[in-house]
Amino acid sequence: MSHALLSNRLLGIQPSPSIAANALVSRLQAEGRDIVNFTVGEPDLDTPAHIVQAAMNAMRAGETHYTATSGTAALRQAIVGKLARDNDLHYGVDEVVAGCGGKHIIYHAMAATLNVGDEVVVHTPYWVSYPDIAKLNDAIPVIIPGDEGLGFKLSPQALERAIGPRTKWVILNSPNNPSGAVYDEAELLALAAVLRRHPHVLVMSDEIYEHFVFGDSRHLSIVNVAPDLKPRTLIINGASKGYAMTGWRLGFGAGPAFLTAAIAKLISQTTTCPASISQAAAVAAFAGDQQPIGDMRGLYHQRRTRMLEHLAGIAGMHCTPPQGAFYVFANITGLLGKRSEAGTLIDTESALVAYLLDEAGVAVVGGAAYGMSPYIRLSFASSLATIDEGCLRLRRAVDRLR
């Protein structure tokens, strides 16, 4: 009876798998279990002090009231400045809209544009929420299978085949969660050539991990290499990852004014505006001292190196080194078909995830959550000591499989 009271659109989706995995770890830890948590999709670092101070100053100054729906003038100007400084992209304040996190903007962008039967093109491995947000807005996710041999990157040929007359959005995510893939200029130009042939398609460029790229990789937006696509591209970004501000819930969209206005119209009927205190903090983040980003990038690079070194010594697993973000997407094909000491068959990635949690106290997220199996995602947004301990447990658990 209770399900009969719920909407079909709600019943057609699942809770966020990554959030559910982290919630399970929190429950087990509260029960006294010793769990190394590699599921977490957020920095383990504290928000930089000057950003916290800006929030405190705003509260003391009485900036605790509703703001403009799209965000304060100061915040939108700081976003415009950030885009020019960091990305060589130039937008007006009417072309940016702030929300309660990047996910908030993604949801409202789809709600503002999708009609029943429209299609949203998503390439695997994808961030867990893209397909379900499309479904919640009565659209059909069109899933393009990924290929590790291509570095988990979308090819122009696959994109061309996926676009049809009902396609409304193509979603690009670089640096990618979970694979860490980062598109270079030539790859973006090839995708842009396809998109030019389909002027009815909007482009969503999720760039939330832009600050965390490694080695010779460099973050570029598709708007950098194909400025003619700017009138139908929405850039998604925010403060959560780069500034260690996940709990502040502050994201933004940058795109054509008709779309940012439509998103703001919906926000006016849902959350009214982002939290005023978070907005004041984000001004300091985007317009203030940027040194903490470089410090965090260096730290993540060390952690990435350490985790890759550990995983290289585990038989039956291999991984393509991530070019960005803070995850390793490890292929576990070589472990399928083995059995635990208790005789449990490891025939799926889900079985391996359960085995690692139960037998080793290591929590990871299965690749099915990201549309691609058999893989597991491991976050290296943890201390080196945690990475060492977790990978040691993982290796010992895998070594016990027969």
Show which of 249, 271, 288 is a domain's final residue: 288
Question: What pLDDT shows up at residue 1?
Answer: 54
- Give 23-78 pLDDT, tens digit per residue: 888 898 899 999 999 998 889 999 999 999 999 999 999 999 999 999 999 999 99
Contact (Cβ atoms closer than 8 angstroms) between residue 50 and residue 288: yes
Question: What pLDDT shows up at residue 90?
Answer: 98
CATH of the domain at 87: 3.40.640.10
- Give 157-197 pLDDT, tens digit per residue: 999 999 999 999 999 999 999 999 999 999 999 999 999 99
| Cα 182 to the center of its chain, rounded Å | 13
- Mean predicted confidence (pLDDT) in 127-151: 97
Distances (CA, A) of 136 to 7, 111, 118: 10, 9, 12
Residues 322 and 221 in one domain: no
Show which of 288, 322, 346 is a domain's final residue: 288
Maximum Cα interatomic distance, the chain, rounded to a whole number of Å:
64
Contact (Cβ atoms closer than 8 angstroms) between residue 172 and residue 206: yes
Cβ neighbors of 141 (< 8 A, separation 6 or more) are 119, 120, 122, 130, 131, 134, 135
Residues 87 and 163 in one domain: yes
Residues 103 and 129 in one domain: yes
- Give 16-36 pLDDT, tens digit per residue: 888 888 888 889 889 999 999
Residues 126 and 9 in one domain: no
**How big is the chain, counted in residues?**
402
Residue closest to 379 by CA, chosen among 297, 300, 313, 292: 300
**Residue showing tokens 């999720």:** 206
Total count of domains within the chain: 2
Residues 205 and 226 in one domain: yes
Question: What pLDDT shows up at residue 82?
Answer: 98
In the predicted structure, residue 357 carries a pLDDT above the cut 80: yes
Residues 33 and 98 in one domain: no
Domain encompassing residue 363: 3-46+292-399
Residues 372 and 234 in one domain: no
- Mean predicted confidence (pLDDT) in 265-280: 98
Tokens describing residue 81:
């400045």
Query: Would residue 298 count as lying in a domain?
Result: yes
Show which of 256, 288, 320 is a domain's final residue: 288
Question: What pLDDT shows up at residue 329?
Answer: 98
Residue 379 — φ and ψ, nearest 5°?
Answer: -90, 135
In the predicted structure, residue 3 carries a pLDDT above the cut 90: no
Residues 20 and 72 in one domain: no
Residues 257 and 384 in one domain: no
- Give 96-110 pLDDT, tens digit per residue: 999 999 999 999 999
- Mean predicted confidence (pLDDT) in 322-341: 97
pLDDT, averaged across the chain: 96
Residue closest to 205 by CA, chosen among 182, 227, 168, 237: 237
Query: Would residue 59 count as lying in a domain?
Result: no
Query: Would residue 52 count as lying in a domain?
Result: no
Residue closest to 292 by CA, chosen among 252, 244, 327: 244
What is the identity of the amino acid at 167? Answer: T
Residues 206 and 341 in one domain: no
CATH of the domain at 329: 3.90.1150.10
- Read off the pTM: 0.96
Question: What pLDDT shows up at residue 94?
Answer: 98
Query: Would residue 57 count as lying in a domain?
Result: no
- Mean predicted confidence (pLDDT) in 341-359: 95
pLDDT > 70 fraction of the chain, expressed in percent and rounded:
100
Query: Would residue 56 count as lying in a domain?
Result: no
Question: What pLDDT shows up at residue 19?
Answer: 82
- Mean predicted confidence (pLDDT) in 105-127: 98
Contact (Cβ atoms closer than 8 angstroms) between residue 206 and residue 236: yes
Query: Would residue 11 count as lying in a domain?
Result: yes
Query: Would residue 60 count as lying in a domain?
Result: no
How many Å apart are CA 242 and CA 238, to the nearest integer?
8
Residues 274 and 334 in one domain: no
Question: What pLDDT shows up at residue 210?
Answer: 98
pLDDT > 90 fraction of the chain, expressed in percent and rounded:
92
Query: Would residue 203 count as lying in a domain?
Result: yes
Residues 332 and 280 in one domain: no
